[in-house]
Chains A and B, each alone.
Chain A
């Protein structure tokens, strides 16, 4: 009796084990190629990039007889061009992100009000965000050239991208114009999730529109502010396309449009200093990683508080 009840589940457990094995086998098979791609082209390069950064590395690979040194990092530390690239990148990010947020929020507020053609305007403002950066930049070069439309309207002959004192700010304007459409979409989604009774209460209290915005809407959008800040802040630190195209691949005039990623590109493909380029990549990655942690920590605290 006892032996019968003990033996009965045994074959069942065996078949269950077989089913589990079969399921696991198919599971591994289905994720095999994605895992191989992520391992080979994301995780391995992370390690390999750090490795390259400690060697003298040219177009033909590691220099003959090279030993691991921190020479590339020393070179970066003393390279005024790298300092300039970092400064440009952070200045760009510090200017463009608040501008995108302000523009995106303003457009979102206008569209969120009950206006005619709301869907049309939402799409129209969003469109530059999904158009190619190369085309948008080419159009910007056309509009901002010394004989271009902008100068005709404001009566000037400024070479916006060709003058080292305005080039960076012109790219800031260009990116804010392009990207604020996406920021708008996030703010719109956030605005629509604010319960209407909050506003009804404010209306009953007779609070004006201006005060309602600053006292109610703006604070309630806090999660959206932080999300946009993190995502678009990191995006801004990786800027490349627009700087590359407006300067015709030079980063000029006078390094005014050289971003950090652009510096890595130039070290690798113009100077064949793969080692220095890789170490700049590591420095930038660490900087972005620390900023992400900092922002995550702030976001976490803001949500708790």
Chain B
């Protein structure tokens, strides 16, 4: 068996080597083409953000003169300082609330027995089917009635915890062996203490993935901030809303627009560079779910 496959490989040796080289060449040509397609816009964006407005009309990659004027004016004059703080506040608040509520709920669904547990869990999975565009108007009407439009608490309230996060935490807790909890139970620890002291520390990787993906999701969110703060609440604009507004108002102020775009991307880029593997594991988990 082994001998025949070795013999076959030897037999195929020379032509395979030639076709392998051809394949390498095709691969690297494709790779370079994709790399150009993906990188050129970003490189051009960064270059333009350091240009002056007249210089941004030319085809030179190196800014001439090099200036950080656009960055300063976007940050100070166009109020991105405030937008960044708003985005940061919302992203951190929503992420922390999701971490706590999704892990606590996920723990209950994974471990505690209570009547109706399976039905409630099915309901949670069912909410994944309800799209935002159907909720848009009723949720807006509800928040209007409660005077929560143009108000951060309205946004936080509807994003307290997501079904995806709760599901994700439950699945992770199911993979943790019960031994740890049994030991805690023997020590007389209550359910909350078991969750807080035992389960949460054991769920480190899931917690990290959830935190990163939720922070990214809230930071990037455009739709709900537009609905809730878009109607004349400029002081509540998030980074993404502020950037869209800047695009609408100053249509060819390219250096400022590009500096603003980089600011809107930068925190996510930094998180991505540091915690790449959590992004990938989060996406893969979403894949398993589907």
List residues of A whose CB falls within 8 A of some B CB. 20, 23-28, 30-31, 33-35, 37-38, 40-46, 48-49, 52, 57, 61, 106-107, 110, 113, 115, 121, 123-128, 130-143, 145, 147, 149, 152, 177, 182, 185-186, 189, 200, 203-204, 206, 208-209, 227, 230-231, 234, 238, 240-241, 244-245, 248-249, 260-261, 264-265, 268-269, 274, 277-278, 281-282, 284-285, 288-289, 292
Contacts and interface: CB of A to CB of B under 8 A. Distances in A.
Interface of B: 5, 8-9, 12, 16, 19, 23, 27-28, 30-31, 34-35, 37-42, 44-45, 48, 57, 59, 101-102, 104-105, 107-109, 112-115, 117, 120, 123-124, 127, 129-142, 145, 157-158, 160-161, 163, 166, 190-192, 195, 216, 219-220, 222-223, 226-227, 230-231, 239-241, 243-244, 247-248, 252, 254, 257-258, 260-262, 264-265, 268-269, 272, 276, 279-280, 283-284, 287, 290
A196 B243 CA distance: 48
Contacts of B262: 135
State the majority secondary structure of interface residues on B: helix
Q: Which of B42, B112, B115, B226 gathers most chain A CB within 10 Å?
A: B112
A33 B284 contact: no
A40 B137 CA distance: 14
B112 A24 contact: yes
Given A61-B145, A209-B23, 17 more contacts: A30-B108, A34-B105, A38-B127, A46-B134, A46-B138, A48-B141, A110-B27, A124-B39, A126-B279, A135-B262, A142-B258, A145-B252, A203-B16, A204-B5, A241-B223, A269-B231, A278-B138
Q: Which of B5, B240, B272 has the most CB of A within 10 A?
A: B240
A245 B220 contact: no
Task: Determine chain A's interface SS by DSSP, over half rule.
Answer: helix
Given A52-B137, A110-B27, A128-B38, A139 B45 contact: yes
A149 B41 CA distance: 9
B41 A139 contact: yes
A143 B257 CA distance: 12
B217 to A, nearest CB: 9
Nearest to B8: A204
A264 B139 contact: no
Contacts of A41: 135, 139, 157-158
